[in-house]
Structure 1
Amino acid sequence: MAATNGTGAQAGKQIPPGKPMSTEQHMLDKGAQMLQSLKPIKHMNQHVCTFALYSHDMTRQIETHHYVTRVNQDFLQCAVFDADDSMAHLIGLEYIVSDRLFETLPPDEQKLWHTHAYEIKSGLWVNPRVPEMVARPELENLAKTYGKFWCTWQTDRGDKLPMGPPALMMSPQGAGIGVVNPVLVQNRDDKYNISSDALKTARVEIAEPEWLNPQADYWKQHNDKGFAVEVETTEMEKRASFP
């Protein structure tokens, strides 16, 4: 797992508690894999590596690996992991919508979303091992999208199991508290033998949206105020019992 607390320190891989898988379990899983369709997983057709920051504490920054399903031209859904190896942890999910769909959302909902234009144009968003010229059309589409990313497992703070409520995540930006730690970026670039700076130069002509809705990236327009989810006790809805 590649993660940092803002100082560039790398967090170690956390192994969830539990007994090793038995031979019988391996056989059951293999059998199920042969018999079942697993259609939702087979529709994941892109791997994206980028970075995300916690909305309630943007000094905490993580490398993320999105496995993307394009539902249609305006909507994508992503399973997010903290690495791209067989021991990766499923840490959350992100939904991505076009600017057209984003403008149909209520203002209070728009506050939970972030832009992708800087993330892509700066070279932080990459499709590992895919030639830039192949990825270019998709990058041009994604530069005009908005994302909502909930982190459900904060492995960067050492949690061995998913703990607490989900955390809303923000996208990197070019100034202030939105800047990604350069050590984190360099570690990622070294792993994939790429240069974010070179990608930034190559992507300079990717068109940015004509207008970025100020409700997105809410912290930028509202004195660095973010969002945190808290769990509270509430009365359950009552209904008549079934016969």
Structure 2
Amino acid sequence: MTTRPNVPGEPTQTGTALLETATGAIQSFAPINKIHEHQCAFHFYAYDMTRQVESHHFCSHQNEEMRQCLIYDKPDAEGRLIGVEYMISENLFLALPDEEKPLRHLR
């Protein structure tokens, strides 16, 4: 049985773990398998710019101007998904509507 710290709920039962292993062998993880880049960065809390959190971006290239990243709080098996981010080129950024630009940043 697997227990994850700070995650509410009952621990994973042995039967569930076995089912996950079996289905993992026959399911496609094609989008996840496209991830080939790991970046470590620091993100500031939106409501408190004096606080920051270490973040680990696991990214796939969508094309030359865009990366799609899953953001985790740790780089290991205990890491929790804390966000999704699209990193875009300056060219794509400049093409955004002005009201959307404050919500984005460049790669």
TM-score (norm 1): 0.41
Report how far residue 80 of structure 1 moved: 0.2
Question: How far did 1:14 drift?
Answer: 5.3
Which structure 2 residue ranges, 5 or more long, are not aligned? none
- Which structure: greater helix fraction? 1
SS for the counterpart of 2:19 is helix
Amino acid at match of 1:22: Q
Q: Which residue number in structure 2 is paired with residue 58 of structure 1?
A: 49
In the aligned structure 1, how far is the partner of 2:69 from the partner of 2:92? 17
Greater Rg over alpha carbons, structure: 1
Q: Residues 111 and 45 from structure 1, CA distance in 2 versus in 1: closer, same or farther, beyond 3 angstroms?
A: same
Deviant stretches of 4+, over 2 Å = none
Structure 2 residue 98 is matched with structure 1 residue 107: yes
RCO higher in structure (CA 8 A, sep ≥6): 1
Secondary structure (helix, strand or coil) at the match of 2:59 reads: strand
Q: Which amino acid aligns with 1:108?
A: E
Separation in 1, partners of 2:5, 2:17: 22
- TM-score, structure 2 as length reference: 0.91
Matching of residue 43 in structure 1 with residue 44 in structure 2: no
TM-superposition CA deviations, 1:158-195 (whole Å, max 9, x none): xxxxxxxxxxxxxxxxxxxxxxxxxxxxxxxxxxxxxx
Q: Deviations over 1:44-77 (max 9, x none)?
A: 1111111011232101200000000101001111
**Matched residues in 1 for 2:16 and 2:46: separation?**
39
Q: For 2:23 and 2:50, how far apart are their aligned partners in 1?
A: 42
2:57 maps to amino acid: H
Of 60, 67, 76, the residue aligned with 1:76 is 67
Matched letter for residue 21 of structure 2: K
Structure 2: distance between partners of 1:14 and 1:81: 15
The within-5 A match list for 1:16-165 is 16-114=7-105, 146=106
Q: Which digits, 9 at most, give the CA deviation of each residue in 1:188-237, with x for residues without a partner?
A: xxxxxxxxxxxxxxxxxxxxxxxxxxxxxxxxxxxxxxxxxxxxxxxxxx
Tell me which amino acid in the other structure corresponds to 2:45.
Answer: Y
Q: What is the aligned-residue identity percentage?
A: 38
Cα distance in 2 for residues equivalent to 1:14 and 1:23? 18
Distance in 1, Cα, partners of 2:22 & 2:5: 29
